[in-house]
Amino acid sequence: MAKSERPRLVVGLSGASGVVYGLRVLDACRELGVETHLVLTRAAALTLSQETALSLAEVTARADVAHRPGDVGASIASGSFPTLGMIVAPCSVRTMSEIATGVTSSLITRAADVTLKERRPLVLMVRETPLHLGHLRTMVRLAEMGAVIAPPLPAFYAKPASLEEMVDQSVGRALDLFGLSWDAVRRWGRDVGPLAGEA
């Protein structure tokens, strides 16, 4: 990226439960001064209506740039468009599987494929449980390709006082993988743990 450009992160929201993770990624990036390029799957729009009172327009307004799910000619579909990488939050098994097989029939999977081929971080906050052997093998394949599988699991050592704090901890730890440090994260040895607060 040119020195004058803000860092960019591609943010994908797929149809898995947990759309709040993607929303908080957008909020965190805004706080951090990171330019966001958002792409939602059609299933994500349905999940949005089931899990929040937000309209699609309200969600896309949280991003700096919102791309249509079928626009495979968008900037984020090209490796020559510099980004920090891509996060899919939440990531459905279907989206995960398409990425693993190299299927790029939508912008979210094309952007993920580009991220991998350019050796940029691809973080998948996979939301599914329990996992059968096919899911696990797909995850292994993605890890071998360079993706990071980062299910949003609660960090109880951070002593979250609310669901919001649990979500923010998972989101912040995922953003750490891009070198982005968000103040909402409670860190071991600094905020919690036996050495917390020591000089």
Q: In what order do the strands lie in the sheet with 86-91?
A: 65-67, 35-40, 8-13, 86-91, 122-126, 148-149
In 52-131, the DSSP E strands lie at 65-67, 86-91, 122-126
The reply to whether 193 falls in a domain is no
AA identity, residue 10: V
Question: Which residue segment(s) compose the domain that 27 sits in?
Answer: 8-176
pLDDT digits (tens, 9 = 90+) for 108-155: 999 999 999 999 999 999 999 999 999 999 999 999 999 999 999 999
Confirm whether 194 is domain-assigned.
Answer: no
Does any domain span residue 146?
yes
What stretches in the chain show pLDDT beneath 50?
none
CB contact at 8 A, 123 and 86: yes
- Measured from the Cβ of residue 155, the count of other Cβ atoms closer than 10 Å reads 17
Residue 138 near residue 95 (C-beta atoms within 8 A): no
Task: Tell me whether residue 19 is in a domain.
Answer: yes
Residue 186 falls within a domain, yes or no?
A: no
What pLDDT is stored for residue 10 in this prediction? 98
Q: Is residue 1 part of a domain?
A: no
Using alpha carbons, select from 110, 101, 97 the residue that is nearest to residue 68. 110
Residue 2 has what pLDDT? 59
pLDDT of residue 3: 57
Please report whether residue 190 resides in a domain: no
Q: What is the CATH number of the domain that holds 39?
A: 3.40.50.1950
Task: Give the count of domains, the chain.
Answer: 1
Whether pTM > 0.85 for this model: the answer is: yes
Q: What is the pLDDT of residue 23?
A: 98
The single-letter code of the amino acid at 143 is: A
